[in-house]
Amino acid sequence: MLDYYDITQSAYIAELQKRGHSSAEIGLHAGLADAALMLATDPSLVRSEAMAHGAKPGVADGVRGDATRATAELGQIGIKLQVDTSVAAIRQLLQRPK
């Protein structure tokens, strides 16, 4: 189900941008979007203390974005989009003739 992944690269990014987050902040890997999704699903995977008080990681660390303002609430936006998109895709598959 590629739609599950694709929605996080399109509609989710658009929703974050509507809330005032830049493309650079949202990032491509381990930025605001990824960190927010992780905070919403499994906060133990996010090193929040390091984000708040550590040196800002960069491309050399595998980070392309700025997760500083990531929240579980922002992640819930993406989770809802993923669930809604997945359910729609499953329903569409179930309606196909066998």
- What CA–CA distance (Å, rounded) separates 62 from 34? 13
Please give the pLDDT value at position 61.
Answer: 80
The pTM of the full predicted model, rounded to 2 decimals, is 0.88
Strand partners, 64: 29
Looking at residue 22, its pLDDT comes to 97
User: Would you call 33 helix, strand, or coil by DSSP?
Assistant: helix
Q: Which residue is associated with the tokens 């993406």?
A: 78
Q: What is the CB neighbour count within 10 angstroms for residue 36? A: 27
How does pLDDT run along the chain (98 residues), one tens digit per residue? 788 889 999 999 999 999 999 999 999 999 999 999 999 999 999 988 777 776 778 888 888 999 999 999 999 999 999 999 999 999 999 999 87
Number of structural domains (the chain) is 1
Q: Quick count: other Cβ atoms within 10 Å of Cβ 64?
A: 16
Domain range enclosing 83? 2-95
